[in-house]
Amino acid sequence: MTSIEAHVQQPYKYGFVTDIESEVVPAGLNEDVIRLISAKKGEPEWMLAWRLKAYRNWLKMSEPHWPNVKYGPIDYQAISYYAAPKQKPKLDSLDQVDPKLVQTFEKLGIPIEEQKRLTGVAVDAVFDSVSVATTFQAELAKYGVIFMPISQAIREHADLVQQYVGTVVPYNDNFFAALNSAVFTDGSFVYVPKGVRCPLELSTYFRINASSTGQFERTLIIADEGSYVSYLEGCSAPMRDENQLHAAVVELVALDRATIKYSTIQNWYPGDEEGKGGIYNFVTKRGKCAGVNSKISWTQVETGSAITWKYPGCILQGDNSIGEFYSVAVTSRKQQADTGTKMIHLGKNTRSTIVSKGISAGRGQNTYRGLVKIMKGAEGARNYSQCDSMLIGDKCGAHTFPYIDVRNSTAIMEHEASTSKIGEDQIFYLRQRGLSAEDAVSMIVNGFCKEVFKELPMEFAVEATRLLGISLEGSVG
Amino acid sequence: MPGHGTRDTGHALLEVKGLRVAVAGNEILKGVDLAIREGEVHAIMGPNGSGKSTLAQVLAGHPAYTVLAGSAKYEGKGLLSMKPEERARAGVFLAFQYPVEIRGITNSYFLRSALNALRRERGEPELDPIDFLQVLEQKLKAIGWDDSMMNRPVNEGFSGGEKKRNEILQLAVLEPRLAILDETDSGLDIDALKTVAHAVNQLRGPKRSFLIVTHYQRLLNHITPDVVHVLADGRIVKSGGPELAHELEAKGYDWLRDAAMVS
């Protein structure tokens, strides 16, 4: 089994540090720090007031300890809540972005220079606490699509932000969401107008670089009536000995007949073999299918982070609305993941699908935790859940906690679960057919994750399979 | 009776000498000698627990088996020091007694990956899905089968008979020089047995050798071997022509086992 484990536990390839002069606010959190962040972003008064309200609530809240993960106490006063690379205050064009930043993103496979951009994908590149570049903004504007850093949107589209921010994840939703609401720095804002099918994939790449900082981005996506948008986020961080906190909030709003497809490839630094260092990824993601016949689909590939705590969910408020959650979560080394989804059925004939694939290797601990709640008014609601776990080696663990709460007798619920182990016999079978041990593991893991990978936008399916050390399946038919 | 296993081995494709093998600390093979020449079909018969499957697995390189002593030369080179995939790429194929299931991977993708691994080894260009389909169609035609299994996940939800057929299909596509069939007949009804035997007969040729491991003689009614060996208590205790299989069917194994004990 050693060859299998060695293969799964490949070295982290994105652990470099960019040597760039940064402005870092001293560690610690208080109202002055929040006022400072708000001032740096040039925010209107209402935004600051909202942040302070969240902060005051946060002070009264306590960190959740129900997830199936173990870590030492976090000193919230030892974290710096704002770090930004020093650059010219106003950028007239992307060509003025510091070459070091351009190089950093290029090294990560995210070209932001005009001539090297990914075709068909608009990118917002976030470095520590600020967005450093957003490509294709002008092209998107022709369609009325707004895609910009949220700090810019707060200034330029205050009406939209004010109308929707906090409506899906309230400022006091949970400990980490409250913290984020108080100190969030950047993240992306998307608005797709009525009847528009967004012509490009939208993507945000988050990079943590500075040490002893946290990243607290906030993303808000609004799909107006009859619109469609596909959005993808990716992320990575340098290898450091200390743990770093990443507490993000993502809110999605789909109005009548709108569809939002949200994909995540999460590759934060996972820590070393002994579990030293790595990102604490404590994230609140939720979408509201506010309108009839709307649809929100979450797809996540979680391979990084020391600890992952996230449950991208859907509030299915509009009649006939659809929520989907497709997840691959990998824990190797000493990584821990407690992840899953919440599907809250409010409207009539709402449907949800959950497909979760957990892969545990090394000394990783992988937990699926999911809630399906059918409320009284949700006549004819349906849910299908499938939770599969795969174990590689004998020092890892897989855990499943499905919660089901049905308050309407017309609901139809299906739940399937399985646990399997990659065994020597499976590997041997493939090697006997001429495949190397590495290719054998890849093929087995790839097959296991296939139902999720097929949900990813084509441009990113390759990245996801590569991340798992897998060659993309190109099967006939 | 001349020992078929020890005759002139000038052109042996596989030559096994004094092979002793243990699994989990128990010695299963206690000194096996065997030589298979190009184009020959050898059958290994024997009672349960005699070490038949161990011989098949160890020749293919299963990591659970420990070689204690002896040698195995394939095309004149030491087989036992090669990795399982190196043996496969050199043309050694094992049709498994219990083929494993691989979720989410279609038979056709799996088989193309395997064939391309072999082609890379031979310095031939890899086949894309379209080219592979053509190769596959030829092979299926040669053994008289259809492509109904190709787009299903590897062995998932296959009946026992389908799994065994799938092994033979892989054999047909990968074109090994030495094909080892480990109890391919077990669990097959008579029609499935005939189908599989027919395919194997189509795949026989002057350049391809077979080692057929079986408990019962019935498969050998349909595939006539050149040599039959009886394995008992980890040793080959008797070798002969195809008539030996009939003798075993009539008399059972006990008389040979007793002979092995006293020798």
Contact residues, chain A, for B180 at CB < 8 Å: none
> A276 to chain B nearest CA, in Å?
34
For residues A429 and A398, the answer to whether their CB atoms sit within 8 Å is no
CA angle B49, B55, B57 (to 5 degrees): 105
Mutation target to probe the A interface, by most A beta carbons within 10 A, among B102, B127, B135, B173 is B102
Contact A429 B96 (CB under 8 A): yes
Percent of chain A residues topping a pLDDT of 70: 90
Is residue B85 predicted with pLDDT exceeding 70? yes
Contact B113 A443 (CB under 8 A): yes
> B56 to chain A nearest CA, in Å?
12
Mutation target to probe the A interface, by most A beta carbons within 10 A, among B103, B107, B180 is B103
pLDDT band at B6 (very low <50, low <70, confident <90, very high): very low
Identity of the residue in A420, A425, A473 whose CB atom sits nearest the CB atom of B105: A473
Domain boundaries, chain B: 12-100+159-262
Mean pLDDT of A228-233: 93
Candidates B58, B113, B114, B69; CA nearest to B91 is B114
Identity of the residue in A429, A448, A476 whose CB atom sits nearest the CB atom of B99: A429
Say which residues have a Cβ less than 8 Å from residue B159's Cβ, sequence separation at least 6: none
Contact residues, chain A, for B83 at CB < 8 Å: 431
Identity of the residue in B93, B99, B151 whose CB atom sits nearest the CB atom of A477: B151
Top mean pLDDT of A59-73, B78-92, B237-251 is at B78-92
Contact B105 A447 (CB under 8 A): yes
Contact residues, chain B, for A420 at CB < 8 Å: 103
Mean pLDDT of A252-281: 90
Distance, in Å, from the CA atom of A99 to the CA atom of A103, rounded to the nearest integer, reads 6
> B62 to chain A nearest CA, in Å?
6
Contact A451 B89 (CB under 8 A): no
Tell me the ipTM for this assembly: 0.93
Mean pLDDT of A21-37: 89
Tell me how crowded residue B123 is: count the other CB atoms within 10 A of its CB: 6
Contact B102 A430 (CB under 8 A): yes
* Amino acid at the residue B29: L
Closest Cα in chain A to B176: A433
Contact B106 A476 (CB under 8 A): yes
Contact residues, chain B, for A451 at CB < 8 Å: 104
Identity of the residue in B60, B99, B114 whose CB atom sits nearest the CB atom of A435: B114
Identity of the residue in B61, B109, B118 whose CB atom sits nearest the CB atom of A475: B109
Structure confidence at residue B151 (pLDDT): 86
pLDDT band at A95 (very low <50, low <70, confident <90, very high): low
Structure confidence at residue A118 (pLDDT): 63
Domain boundaries, chain A: 3-471
Mean pLDDT of B152-170: 92
Contact residues, chain B, for A454 at CB < 8 Å: none
Mean pLDDT of A262-289: 89
Binning chain A into helix, strand and coil, the percentages to the nearest 5 are 25, 35, 40
Structure confidence at residue A10 (pLDDT): 63
Class of domain B12-100+159-262: alpha beta
Mean pLDDT of B113-120: 95
How does pLDDT run across A364-419, given as a tens digit for each residue?
899 999 999 999 999 999 999 999 999 888 888 999 999 999 999 999 999 999 99
Closest Cα in chain B to A444: B102
CA angle B48, B49, B55 (to 5 degrees): 110
pLDDT band at B60 (very low <50, low <70, confident <90, very high): very high
Candidates A199, A74, A99, A209; CA nearest to A143 is A199
Q: Which residue has the higher pLDDT, B160 or A1?
A: B160
Is residue A150 predicted with pLDDT exceeding 80? yes
How does pLDDT run across A302-334, given as a tens digit for each residue?
888 889 999 999 999 999 999 999 999 988 888
Distance, in Å, from the CA atom of A214 to the CA atom of A192, rounded to the nearest integer, reads 30
pLDDT band at B263 (very low <50, low <70, confident <90, very high): very low
Closest Cα in chain A to B152: A477
Distance, in Å, from the CA atom of A194 to the CA atom of A256, rounded to the nearest integer, reads 9
Numbered residues of chain A with Cβ closer than 8 Å to any chain B Cβ: 420, 423-426, 428-437, 439, 443-444, 446-451, 473-477
Structure confidence at residue A36 (pLDDT): 93
What's the pTM value of the predicted model, to 2 decimals?
0.84
Mean pLDDT of B2-23: 74
Say which residues have a Cβ less than 8 Å from residue A154's Cβ, sequence separation at least 6: A41, A43, A44, A47, A161
> B253 to chain A nearest CA, in Å?
30
Closest Cα in chain B to A422: B102
pLDDT band at B261 (very low <50, low <70, confident <90, very high): low
Contact residues, chain A, for B110 at CB < 8 Å: 433, 443
CB within 8 Å of chain A, chain B residues 55-114: 60-64, 83-85, 87-89, 93-94, 96, 98-100, 102-106, 108-110, 112-114
Tell me how crowded residue A124 is: count the other CB atoms within 10 A of its CB: 29
Contact residues, chain B, for A477 at CB < 8 Å: 106, 108, 150-151
> A3 to chain B nearest CA, in Å?
12
Identity of the residue in B62, B89, B121 whose CB atom sits nearest the CB atom of A428: B62
